Amino acid sequence: MKNQKNNIPIVLTIAGTDPSGGAGINVDLQVFRDHGCHGVAAITAVVWQNTRRVGGWRATRAADLRAQLDLIVEDFNLSAIKIGMLPTAELMNEVSNFLSDTDPEIAVVFDPVMAGGNGDQELMTVDGKEGLMAMVERVDLITPNGAEAESIAVSGALNGAPEELLEGVLACGWRRVLLKGGHLHRENGAPIVDWYGDECGVRPLPAVEPVAADVRGTGCQLSSSIAAELALGRGWEEAVANAREYLNRRLVEDAQVIGGGRPIVVRAESVS
């Protein structure tokens, strides 16, 4: 029997690991903390990576993932759910089944991670991509980048009009779509424009100036921030706006190169 002692929002992340702390579950939990939420986690894959590259990964057994999830909901009242790396169709089906058993009022944000940020390693199998539609019924917002949206929509081109690409994702049945503009075709140094679509149509969101180049884990942090904002009671558009502002601030203030590769958002303060 659940016996929650306080009203701190609890946000669940269902995602893969990142030993370097720049992406995946390791950064999702930091984002939840930044928003004043408590984070709980279920691991979908063990990933070996650092700031230079992804070396490989191994998916969690479906039964083991479900066991993690069942024990979490046995004990906690969730306020929101963020989903990241789901590498196989089997895991997507397991998570879909789990979500069908959860309260429909719990918001679900899905960041469909298909490859490492620099594209050097596939993080979703072919059958995983084919099985994405298992998630459509219970996901409230999906947050693909351009390449992911192209794969999900089946039609459209990365260098094509973003509104058409977004409409192609919505046409598959996804309830809300945030198309991240960082990987869309644009002139070097041009402002980044994300696109948002729902039952009311598609529209561009206010542009943000590009910041530190090629920071790892931006998609993980954006989707986690949206989930945390929803857990705090924000509406969908306010949650998206606040999360974009949060991420941009973090990128401006905290992106650092602390390894030998790409920069990451560093929340620790230097010890003098």
CATH of the domain at 133: 3.40.1190.20
* 191, part of any domain: yes
Pairing type for strands 38-49 and 10-16 reads parallel
Phi, psi (deg, nearest 5) at residue 152 = -70, -45
Give pLDDT, residue 227. Answer: 98
Residue with tokens 């198309």: 179
Pairing type for strands 107-110 and 80-83 reads parallel
Give pLDDT, residue 111. Answer: 97
What is the domain range of residue 20? 10-263
Give pLDDT, residue 110. Answer: 98
* 272, part of any domain: no
- What angle, 0 to 180 degrees and rounded to 10, lies between the N-to-C axes of helices 146-153 and 162-170? 50
* 4, part of any domain: no
Give pLDDT, residue 214. Answer: 83
* 210, part of any domain: yes
* 268, part of any domain: no
pTM: 0.93
* 3, part of any domain: no
**DSSP labels for 73-113?**
HHH---SEEEE----SHHHHHHHHHHHHTS-TTSEEEE---
Give pLDDT, residue 76. Answer: 96
Model pLDDT for residues 32-57, shown as the tens digit of each residue: 999 999 999 999 999 999 999 999 99
Give pLDDT, residue 194. Answer: 93
Task: Compute the residue count for the chain.
Answer: 272
Max Cα-Cα span within the chain: 55
* 137, part of any domain: yes
Give pLDDT, residue 184. Answer: 62
Please state the domain count of the chain. Answer: 1
Give pLDDT, residue 122. Answer: 87
Instruction: Give me the residues of the chain with pLDDT under 70, please.
Output: 1-5, 117-120, 154-160, 183-189, 212-213, 270-272
